[in-house]
Amino acid sequence: MPAAKKLHKIDLTQPKYLQTLVENRRVFNLQHCELNVFESYQEAYRVPLTFPDFVITSMVRGKKVMHLHGKPSFDYIPGETVIVAADETMVIDFPEANTGNPTQCIALAVDAHYVNSTLQYLDNFYNNDPDDFHNWRLQFNQYHFENDNEVSDIINKLMRICSSGDKAKNIYADLNMKELLIRLMQSQHLMQVQMESGGQQNQTRLHYVLHYITEHLTDPIPMDTLCRKAYLSRNAFFKWFKEQFGLSPLEFINRERIKLAKQLLTNHNLSITTVAQQCGFSDVNYFVRRFRQTEGITPGAYQQIQQRY
């Protein structure tokens, strides 16, 4: 996981102020949200945690194993975010926690009225095209995210705001919390459309454009071609795509190509140049730069790591 996607580490609680060694909690209250910082300093299993509000959690350090109702358990590590519905109990294991390697996680509990007002905002301002209309909502079948740089930046800002003494911190928190909710829902919307785009149902221009990109990922994909597929001018296409998914068409294409590259790099017999070409990158140096920017290491280093497994 690239360092750029991880959250800034928070100072650990001084030992004399610890109330418990498992899920010690510090709380910072704002008008529409509550920032909780949890730390664990000893191995523990099946620890329940429930919030009465919708929660955005992100790992800062260490590792947990998460058990959410009706979902397979998974490792939870720095660089990742998980959303949990109000009143849903998280059951958590701390298999590696100790005083030298504590876990640290933040949990942003968000007021339900605030979440609903943000959803209403999205419905009002992002549903101007009847061909692409959908009800914006939080989907709890898509709950586990890898942080991108924007998400990490927003959460880092929120942590600074919540712990500050600034009189205007509720205003700053409001702006950043709205952006965080919108980005998470845009990510969910993208995942949903990607899953649907290969089928024959719900074929909007969104499905059509993403399906075309997926089918031509290893080929050159001129932006003018995508504009024609969407029946939009270049400026309108870029604005429309960014509003729907929170990233530009080129950012999406490069992200999908890097995903494909990671799969190909598990084959130790393929050269970096070959992988670049098979992923649609005509310039190997550009491929290396994009890969390092996304993953935090070069393709060659990533391939070497895969050789260990």
Here the CATH number for the domain that contains residue 101 is 2.60.120.280
Query: How much is the pLDDT for 78?
Result: 92
> Do residues 236 and 141 share a domain?
no
Q: How confident is the model at residue 127 (pLDDT cuts 50, 70, 90)?
A: low
Under DSSP, is residue 41 helix (H, G, I), strand (E, B) or coil?
Answer: coil
Q: What angle do CA 186, 107, 118 make, to 5 degrees?
A: 35
* Same domain (yes/no): 285, 156: no
Residues 34, 154 within the same domain: yes
* Residue 4 pLDDT greater than 50, yes or no: no
Shared-domain flag, residues 21 and 8: yes
pLDDT of residue 128: 57
Mean pLDDT of 229-242: 91
Domains in the chain: how many in total? 3
Select from 192, 207, 234 the last residue of a domain: 192
Q: Which residue has the higher pLDDT, 248 or 134?
A: 248
Judged by average pLDDT, the poorest of 88-102, 154-168, 222-236 is 154-168
1 has pLDDT over 70: no
Shared domain check, 234 and 131: no
Q: In the predicted model, is pLDDT for residue 155 greater than 50? A: yes
Residue-wise pLDDT for 290-301, tens only, equals: 998 888 889 999
Q: 172 is written with which tokens?
A: 């700053």
Q: In this structure, how many other beta carbons lie within 10 angstroms of the beta carbon of residue 254?
A: 21
Strand order in the sheet with 44-49: 44-49, 90-94, 64-67, 74-76
CB 174 within 8 A of CB 164: no
Whether residues 48 and 176 share a domain: the answer is yes
Q: 174 and 48, same structural domain?
A: yes
Check residue 309 and give its pLDDT.
58
Residue 104 is predicted with a pLDDT of: 97
If you write DSSP's letter for every residue of 265-298 in order, what string do you get? TTSTTS-HHHHHHHTT-S-HHHHHHHHHHHHSS-
**Residue 146: pLDDT above 90?**
no
User: Is the pLDDT confidence value at 44 over 90?
Assistant: yes
The fraction of the chain above a pLDDT of 70, given in percent, is 94
Banded pLDDT at 79 (limits 50, 70, 90): confident
One domain for residues 109 and 179: yes
Residue 134 has pLDDT above 70, yes or no: no
Q: How far apart are CA 193 and CA 231, in angstroms?
A: 18
- Region 106-110: what's the mean pLDDT? 95
Q: Report whether pLDDT(147) > 50.
A: yes
Looking at the structure, tell me whether residues 197 and 227 fall in a common domain: yes
Closest by CA to 12, choosing from 45, 38, 44, is: 38
Q: Judge whether residue 211 has pLDDT over 50.
A: yes
If you average pLDDT over residues 257-274, what whole number do you get? 93
Q: Give the range of the structural domain holding residue 58, as residue numbers without chain letter.
A: 3-192
**Same domain, yes or no: 187 and 198:** no
237 and 256 in a common domain:
no
Backbone angles phi and psi of 98, in degrees to 5: -155, 175
Q: Where is pLDDT greater, at 163 or 103?
A: 103
Q: Say yes or no to pLDDT of 2 above 60.
A: no
- Lowest-confidence range among 52-56, 155-159, 188-192, 277-281? 188-192
Is pLDDT above 80 for 145?
yes
Q: Kind and range of the H or E element at 67?
A: strand 64-67
C-alpha to C-alpha distance for 169 and 3, rounded to whole angstroms: 27
Q: What is the CATH number of the domain that holds 265?
A: 1.10.10.60
The band of 262, judged by pLDDT with boundaries at 50, 70 and 90, is very high
The answer on 132 and 200 residing in a single domain is no
pLDDT band at residue 130 under the 50/70/90 scheme: low
Which of the listed residues 202, 218, 245 is the one where a domain comes to its end? Answer: 245
pLDDT of residue 129: 58
168-177 average pLDDT score: 90
